Amino acid sequence: MSEAILLNIEQKMRKSLEALQKELAGIRTGRASPALIENVRVEYAGAIMPLNQVASISTQGANLLIIQPWDRASVSSIEKAILASDLGLNPASDGRVIRVNIPPLTEERRQELIKVVRRRIEQGRVEIRNLRREALDELRTQEKNKELSQDEDKRLQGQLQKLTDGFIAESERIGRDKEAEVLEV
């Protein structure tokens, strides 16, 4: 029963780390990538949804993204959403297709993006710690209800801490890799 708590928390931590990686993929580097804008939130038909659900996104060359909306009426809302994002991109539209030129990053913009990366990494670490706290609460409840001995509780808490430390170290590694990618000229 208590081993199931650790397995459940490990799965949640893994999903949290995967979400962090997807989020960091959306932070721009010097090259055009559909992942950069696919999760930009667009208002369409009264709902807010990711850009990749209202248009197809492709690259043309190393510094140009092409967005082809499935509905021409959504072109202006897609442009507004890209402008409102913290990506610093300027879309250009001909009424059917939106082109987003990815300009080279300035040193100042690189530093801003590194701050964004660090903020998101910290949010990921906080989420992992919250999951650890959730598991600790469950273990303490089981110990109070005499479903778990004190020794078993301490052993599981130690395993939980090792698990947490591993996921936090992995999130920091992901952050360092992304920072190096942003600084790459």
**Residue 17: what pLDDT?**
94
Residue 101 contacts residue 64 (beta carbons within 8 Å): yes
Instruction: Please report, for the chain, the start and end positions of each structural domain, with discontinuous segments joined by +.
Output: 2-25+106-183, 34-101
Q: Please indicate, yes or no, whether the overall pTM of this predicted structure exceeds 0.75.
A: no
Give the Cα separation of 102 and 31 in Å (integer). 7
Whether pLDDT at 30 is above 80: no
Q: What is the mean pLDDT of the chain?
A: 87
Q: Which helix (H) or strand (E) holds 69?
A: strand 64-69
Q: What is the CATH architecture of 2-25+106-183?
A: Orthogonal Bundle (1.10)
| Cα atoms in the Cβ-side hemisphere of radius 13 Å centred on 80 | 9
Do the bridges between strand 47-50 and strand 41-44 make them parallel or antiparallel, or are there none, so unpaired? antiparallel
Looking at residue 185, what is its pLDDT? 63
Q: Which fold has domain 34-101?
A: Gyrase A; domain 2 (3.30.1360)
User: What does the pLDDT look like over 111-148, one tens digit per residue?
Assistant: 888 898 999 999 999 999 999 999 999 989 998 988 88
pLDDT (tens digit, 9 = 90+) per residue, 64-102?
A: 889 999 888 888 888 888 888 877 788 888 888 999 888
Rg (C-alpha) for the chain, rounded Å, is: 21
